[in-house]
A and B are shown apart, each in its own frame.
Chain A
Amino acid sequence: RKEVEQDPGPFNVPEGATVAFNCTYSNSASQSFFWYRQDCRKEPKLLMSVYSSGNEDGRFTAQLNRASQYISLLIRDSKLSDSATYLCVVNYGGATNKLIFGTGTLLAVQP
């Protein structure tokens, strides 16, 4: 089983749509969770951290379910500029700063 699993997609959605990505992780000791965004042939960039209580940043909402070891990202009112690969990231466990990156979910927002 992969340490971090994501649906690779692609998710093809029209502008304005709401889209949700899911991610599962295998290490119950993981404590830090993030979503990164990676544009084609570019470096990953932090989109948002994921907190236990869930958190929202504009059109983006992240949720964490520790019991199910599951993380989600919801994007509302999709824009063309949201087209990218979204990486689910967790730490190796405990307080370590080593991160495990999922292989990403590709989102293509269509006009």
Chain B
Amino acid sequence: GAGVSQSPSNKVTEKGKDVELRCDPISGHTALYWYRQSLGQGLEFLIYFQGNSAPDKSGLPSDRFSAERTGGSVSTLTIQRTQQEDSAVYLCASSLQGLEQYFGPGTRLTVT
């Protein structure tokens, strides 16, 4: 079946602009996660959605970052007023009732 998909695959934006990154999880997966990975670094947890519960936003690095998940499916991560340090690969993962996480291919964000 279809895996986790993310769009766009690459995004180049100017400092100060807003960006939206999209994640389509595996159908039926109740949990959705956002991470970011800077070059040569490990994965940094950003936010976690589980069913209809309030999301766990504890990993968001600043109030410029926000995410929503509509209808328990698609999620959008928004970064406002982008900074150069936001440049990274943003990875989305989904899981079925909290079991193993399956990752999308990521969105490579470059802020110039």
Q: How many whole Å from A25's CB to the nearest CB in chain B?
A: 13
| Residues of B with C-beta under 8 A to A43 | 91, 103-106
Q: How many residues of B contact A (CB 8 A)?
A: 20
Number of chain A residues close to chain B: CB under 8 A:
17
Taking the closest CB of chain A, its distance from the CB of B39, in whole angstroms, is 10
Given contacts A34-B100, A97-B50, A97-B98, A42 and B105 within 8 Å (CB-CB)? yes
Q: Please classify the interface of chain B as helix (H, G, I), strand (E, B), loop, or mixed, using the class held by over half of its residues.
A: strand
B48:A49 contact, CB within 8 angstroms: no
A73 to B70, CA, bound (A): 38
User: Across the interface, which residues of B come within 8 angstroms of A46, CB to CB?
Assistant: 100-102
A:78-111 near B, CB below 8 Å: 87, 95, 97-104
A87 to B41, CA, bound (A): 11
Spell out B's residues near A (CB within 8 Å): 31, 33, 35, 41-43, 45, 48, 50, 56, 91, 95, 98, 100-106
From the candidates A49, A97, A101, name the one contacting B43 in the complex (CB within 8 A).
A101
Measured between beta carbons, the chain B residues less than 8 angstroms from A9 are: none
> How far, in Å, is A67 (CB) from chain B's closest CB?
25
Give CA–CA (A46, B4) in the complex, Å: 14
CA gap between A13 and B31 in the complex, in Å: 38
Q: In the complex, are the beta carbons of B42 and A102 less than 8 A apart? A: yes
Residues on B with C-beta less than 8 A from A104 are 42
Q: Which 6 A-B pairs have the closest CB atoms?
A: A97-B98, A103-B42, A43-B103, A101-B43, A46-B100, A101-B42
